[in-house]
A = this chain, B = another copy of it.
Amino acid sequence: MDIPDLKRFLAETFPAADAFGFAIAALDEDHLVLSLPTQAKHLRPGGTVSGPTMMTLADTAAYLIILSHIGPVGLAVTTNLNIHFVSKPEPGELRATARLLKLGKRIAVVEVRLHGPGAGGLYAHATVTYSIPPGSAAPQPG
């Protein structure tokens, strides 16, 4: 699935995720970048981006890069998410860069780095595991 496919699938299947406010900024064989212009609802007092906002963005970026490889599988579900928060995120644009660590027939593991715009510092690092339902197409990447 390419960027327009992913957007259409998400809008139809997960309207709440779609309303969250992010955009798919880049997609190639190995990476997917989600961009979120943070709004008031994404912030904690003091202006820092909230933990749940970052966890939601990491989970969504992981889901989308898996779909980009296996197609529109609504029933793929998160089985584990592990996130380290390593620096205080600034308000403004939040970016999540997802990369597949494993794409098997039954499990996919994705690494997600959350950072600011440009070459700024790392805000958080997540690994996200999805369970892929039997029968879905899931070619192992080279």
Task: Tell me, rounded to whole Å, the shortest Cβ–Cβ distance linking A138 to chain B.
Answer: 13
A68 within 8 A of B: no
**Copies of the protein in its oligomer:** 4
Known: A14-B45, A52-B52, A107-B131. A78 touches B85 (CB 8 A): yes
CA distance A131 to B106 in the complex (A): 9
Q: Which of B55, B84, B102 contacts A127 (CB 8 A)?
A: B84
Contact assessment for B77 and A80 in the assembled complex, using a CB-CB cutoff below 8 Å: no
Residue in B closest to A127 when the chains form the complex, CB atoms: B84
* Min distance, Cβ A4 to any Cβ of chain B, angstroms: 21
Please give me the residue from chain B that is nearest to A56 by CB atom.
Answer: B52
Q: In the complex the two chains form, what is the Cα distance from A40 to B72 in whole Å?
A: 24
